[in-house]
């Protein structure tokens, strides 16, 4: 009987590795993020449509506030959960823009997906997004309109735009 040599753990360099797995994971993440963004897209803006959400215990919430909608959704995918957390962070930081931040993230991932399909490396896409963010910030600063803090009429319009999305009704 001949003795067989068994390789020690960790020395197996011929282990099977699915070369497509990273692409599949990336694609799954993008699909999940786009699904979350699409779920709240129509609630965007001061004229956004309301969503009616029924909880497991029968309570009904009617709102067009992105943070409220996402809070009520039961998401399990890790990337979808990250977008819910992104929306929460936006709500804490600015008190508004919870829908916008998720829709922008979904749109950026949609664009990234198209670039990945063309064979562009993820690091190149990430670097380009970083440069675009710097340029976008410059443009937004140039577009900004100073607000006179003593002009009650203008301040009321600004506040009402934000507050319109905060009003929601809960019915039993």
pLDDT at 172: 45
pTM of this structure? 0.74
Residue 3 lies inside a defined structural domain of this protein: no
- Which CATH number belongs to the domain containing residue 35 in this structure? 1.10.560.10
Residue 53 lies inside a defined structural domain of this protein: yes
Contact between 64 and 83 under an 8 Å Cβ cutoff? The reply is no
Consecutive sets of 10 residues in the chain, 172 residues long: mean pLDDT of each? Answer: 58 62 90 94 85 87 86 90 93 88 96 96 97 97 92 86 57 46
Q: Rounded distance, CA 50 to CA 71, Å?
A: 15
Residue 14 lies inside a defined structural domain of this protein: no
pLDDT at 9: 59
Q: Strand 169-171 to strand 51-54: parallel, antiparallel, or no bridges (unpaired)? A: unpaired
Note down the domain range covering 129: 21-142
Contact between 30 and 112 under an 8 Å Cβ cutoff? The reply is yes
pLDDT at 16: 56
pLDDT at 7: 55
Give the closest residue to 51 by CA, choosing from 62, 36, 41.
62
Residue 122 lies inside a defined structural domain of this protein: yes
pLDDT at 81: 94
pLDDT at 8: 60
What's the number of domains the chain is made of?
1
């Amino acid at each position: 009987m001949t003795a067989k040599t068994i390789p020690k753990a960790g020395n197996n360099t011929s282990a099977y590795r699915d070369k497509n797995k990273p692409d599949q994971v990336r694609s799954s993440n993008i699909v999940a993020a786009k699904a979350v963004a699409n779920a709240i897209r129509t609630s965007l803006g001061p004229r956004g449509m309301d969503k009616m959400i029924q909880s497991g215990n029968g309570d009904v919430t009617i709102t067009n506030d992105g943070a409220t909608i996402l809070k009520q959704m039961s998401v399990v995918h890790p990337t979808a959960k990250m977008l819910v957390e992104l929306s929460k962070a936006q709500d804490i930081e600015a008190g508004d823009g919870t829908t916008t931040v998720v829709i922008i993230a979904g749109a950026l991932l949609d664009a990234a997906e198209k670039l990945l399909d063309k064979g562009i490396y993820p690091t190149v896409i990430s670097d380009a997004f970083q440069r675009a963010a710097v340029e976008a910030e410059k443009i937004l600063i140039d577009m900004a309109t100073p607000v006179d803090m003593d002009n009650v009429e203008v301040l009321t319009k600004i506040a009402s735009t934000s507050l319109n999305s905060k009003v929601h009704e809960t019915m039993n």
